A and B are shown apart, each in its own frame.
Chain A
Amino acid sequence: MIEQKITDPASIFSREGRSKLFITGSEAVREAIKRANVDMAIAYPITPQSESMHLVGDIYAEGYLKDYFRGENEFAVMSAVAGASMGGVRVFTATGGPGTLRAFEMFSTWAGSRLPIVCAFLTRGVNSPLTIQPDTIEMAYLLDTGMIMLHAENAQDLYDMLLKAFVVAEKTEVHIPVGVFADGFFVTHTRDYVEVAAAEFKLPPYNPYSAPVPVMDMENVPIRQMRDPFVMKSNFVSYATHASWQQEVMAAAERARPYIHRYLDGLLEVETPGADILIVASGTAVSQSREARAMAAAEGTEVGLVKIKCLRPFPAAEIQQITRNCKAVIVPEFNRVGWLCREIKAVVENNGKVIGAPRVFGGMTMPPELILDQIRRCKA
C-alpha cells in the first residue's frame, strides 16, 4: 500500500495549497479516489464511465486501494458494493445510462439498508435508438430512490463532490448513499483545469460502528439479518415497521442538509438573485447558461443564475424564496422529460412563469444561443 497521511477532511477540502492540473473529468475521479481512503472499488465498464473505473483500477495497482475487481454486470456490481458496505468498508463504484438502469433495484436497497456508498453516475442517454452520448434522463428515475444526489457542473465539482460525498454519507444521522452525477463526455471526456489537494494526504478511514443500524460482525452475522426481518411477516407490525422505515430513510436525507451546507457551501449557488429573469439549472446546463448570461449582459439584459448542486434533498425553500419576485424562470436541461423543470414548478409560486426550455437530448450540445433566445423572449 502507498503511505498516505490521514488528515482532517477540512484540510483536504480547503482550496489553499492545491496544485492545478489540466485533466479530464475521468482523471478527476481518479484524483478524488486517491485521496478518499477508499478500501474497495468494484467496476463494470460502460461508456462514458469506463475510463474512470479503469483509472481507479490503476491506482489500486499503485496501492491506493485494498481491493478492486470487475463484476459480471452492473446489477452484480451494485449488489457486491452493497455487500462490501454492509461488511464495513468504504466502497466506491461508478456507472451511467443503461448501466444505471440495469442495476436499478440496488439503489433503493442501498438507501433502505442505510449504506453510505458513494457512486459516480456519469450520465448518458438510455433511449432507443441506442446512444452513448450525454443526456441526464437517468437522474429523473433516481430522484426517489432515497439517495442523496449531487450534480457536478464540471471536473472540479466532480473531484470536490466525490470527496465530500464520503464525509456526508458516513455521518451517523445520515448514513445513506450519495450519488455524484456528472454529464458524460461534457465532463468525463473534457480536459479542463482541476485544483487538487496534495496526494500525500487522505481522508480519515470509515468507522463502520458509526452506522445507525446493526453492523455485520461476529455478533451480528448476516444470516440473522436475513432470517428474521419484520417485513417477511404480513402483520400489523411488519407494515408499521416498513412504513416508518421508509420515512426514516427520507428523514436521513433531510438530516444531511446541515452537512451539505457545511461542506458544499449550500445546496445551491446564486448569482445576481435580484434580476427579473433567472436561469435555474444543474450540471453542464449551468456552464452553458454562464455563456448565455454573458451574451445577454452584452445586450444590456441582466440575468440571474441559480446553480443547483444538490437535488436530493431538494433546495425547495431556497428556490421558492429566490424566485418569488422575478418575472421569468428559465430551466435549460439535457433531457427530454424536463425533470428539473417539474421539480422547480412544484416549488415556485405563480409557476406559470417557469419556462422549460431549451431542452436538448440524445447527445446534442446545447448552444448558449438557444438559452439566449429564451432570455430575449422573456424581454419581448
Chain B
Amino acid sequence: MQQKTFIRMSGLGGQGVVTAAHILGDAATRSGLVSTVNPFFGAEKRLAPAESYVRISSEPIFERGEVLFPNIIMIFHPHVITLGKCYTMPFFDGLQRQGKIIVNADNPLALGEDDLERLRRLEAALYYIPATQVAMEVGGTDLSTNIAMLGALLGISALVGDTALQEALAERFGGGKFVASGTTAALDDVLKSKYAKLAQLIEKNMAVVEKARRSTQVYPI
C-alpha cells in the first residue's frame, strides 16, 4: 500500500514558506522517499499570502499543483488564520480525516466554536509552537522561523531523518547551487551574514529544530 503524506504550508511572504518546503522535500528524497515540492504565490512581496506544498510518498507522484486535501497543514503566522491571509478558507479547508495542524503562535488562538466542531468531527489534532520565539532565542534570528516549523513537524511526525535534514540544510545554504528568486536570494544573504560560517548556520538551525521539536504542544479541541 502506498504511503502518502501531503503537506500544505501557509504563511506570509518572507517567512520562508517556500524554502521550508524545498528543504523538507530534499530531506525526504535523502531519506529514500519520493517527493515533489511546489510553491504558489502571487507577485512576490513581503507579508502577502504564500503557500507551498510537499508531497511525500513511497511511490511515484504524478499530481501537480496545490495540495487540496492535505494530511498535515502548517500555519507559519497567526495572520493566516486571524486575517485570512490564506488561499483557502477556513485555513483547514480540505484537511483529511485524522489530519494534523501545526500553528506558529505564542499562545493558542481563539478559534470559533464552528471551526472547533468541524475539527472535532475530522478527528484532527491541533498543535501550537512558538516558532518565531524559538527561532529568535536559539537561532538568534526570526529568519529561522521556517526551520523551527520543520522542527515542530518532525516533533509530531517522523517524516524524515535528522541527517537527511542536516544535509538538505547544507545543500540549501551551502553555496550557489540552489536557485532562488531575487528576493529570496537577498534574504539568504542576510541569513548568511547573521551567521559567520556555514557550519555554524547549520549547527544553529539544527539546534532550532531540536528545541522546536520539544516545544510543540498539543491543544485539546
Q: Per-residue CB proximity of A144-172 to B under 8 Å, as 1/0?
A: 00000000001000000000000000000
Interface contact B179-A27, CB-CB below 8 Å = yes
- Please determine whether A287 and B181 come into contact, CB atoms closer than 8 angstroms: no
Among B64-72, B76-84, B131-139, B197-205, the stretch in contact with A: B64-72
Say yes or no: is B36 at the interface (Cβ < 8 Å to chain A): yes
Q: What range describes how many residues of B lie at the interface?
A: 20 to 34
**Complex contact A191–B63 (CB within 8 A):** no
Q: Is the CB of A191 within 8 A of B36?
A: yes
| Complex interface bits, B44-77 against A, C-beta within 8 A gives 1, otherwise 0 | 0000000000000000001111101100000000
Can you list 9 pairs linking A and B with CB atoms under 8 Å apart? A22-B25, A22-B29, A26-B179, A190-B37, A192-B36, A287-B62, A288-B62, A365-B66, A366-B65
| Inter-chain contacts of A290 with B (CB < 8 A) | 62
A132 at the interface (CB under 8 A from B): yes
Which chain B residue lies CB-closest to A55? B179
B110 interface contact, C-beta 8 A:
no
A191 CA / B55 CA spacing, docked (Å): 10
Residues of A within 8 A of B (CB-CB), count: 32
Q: Please list the residues of chain A having a beta carbon within 8 angstroms of any beta carbon in chain B.
A: 22, 24, 26-27, 47, 50-51, 54-55, 58, 132-134, 154, 183, 185-187, 189-193, 284, 287-288, 290-291, 365-368
Which residues of B have CB within 8 Å of A58? 176
Chain A interface, DSSP helix/strand/loop, else mixed: mixed
Candidates B37, B39, B62, B66; contact of A291 at CB < 8 Å: B62
Most chain B CB within 10 A, of A26, A192, A288, A366, is at: A192
Q: Is B175 an interface residue (CB 8 A)?
A: no
- Of the candidates A22, A55, A366, the one having the most CB atoms from chain B within 10 angstroms of its own CB is A22
Q: Which residues of A contact B179 (CB under 8 A)?
A: 24, 26-27, 51, 54-55
Query: From B21, which residue of chain A is reached at the shortest CB distance?
Result: A191
Closest chain B residue to A367, Cβ basis: B68
Q: Is the beta-carbon distance between B43 and A191 smaller than 8 angstroms? A: no
The answer for the CA separation of A27 and B66 in the assembled complex, in Å, is: 21
